[in-house]
Amino acid sequence: MSKNYIFKHAADYAIIEVSDQSFSGVTRKIGSVVGHFGYKTLDLLPNHVTILGYPGNLDSGQKMHQVTAGSYGSGGNNTAIYGSDMAGGSSGGPWVENFGIGAVGQVDGSDRTLNQIVGVTSYGSTSVKPLYEGSSILDTRFTSILKTACAWKSGNC
């Protein structure tokens, strides 16, 4: 595999705080209106995920694209590599374990928790092939940022 990465960071992720908003006269958290995903740390290698993004190389970044892929391997520096045809513009998109809605009676797999973010698109190939993207592995640095955001204002988390 070529080491032609745009960039590699051991902890390339962020959390944003969105103020509560009034919806139909009731102050609500954005997640209670549009939904939200959970997260899992240290669960990117090995794994199989759905990668979501708005890549500029597909539909000029105007439509959400998804790739379902298994891990290729370590990208070094606390990162993982997965196969993906997405390019620039997809950065920051979530890597979701067990994406979607579970089927009635579905019991396979050791962890059936749905919609858990295990990574975020951070880098990709600068050449045409091989096609891949990389993500920092969510670890204690991520949970430290999350704890800071949760403590910022009562009721954040």
- pTM score: 0.86
CB-CB contact of 79 with 134 (8 Å)? yes
Q: What's the confidence (pLDDT) of residue 5? A: 45
pLDDT at 1: 41
Assigned token pair, 68: 């379902």
The answer to whether 13 and 145 have CB atoms below 8 angstroms apart is: yes
144's tokens: 């430290």
CATH 3.10.580.10 fits 37-101+114-152, yes or no: no
Domain residues of the chain, as ranges? 37-101+114-152
**CA 11 from chain center: how many Å?**
13
Residue 109, pLDDT score: 66
The two structure tokens encoding residue 11: 């902890």
**pLDDT, block means (10 residues), the chain with 157 residues:** 53 88 90 91 94 94 95 92 92 94 75 90 81 93 92 83
Q: Please, are residues 114 and 47 in contact by the beta-carbon 8 Å criterion?
A: no
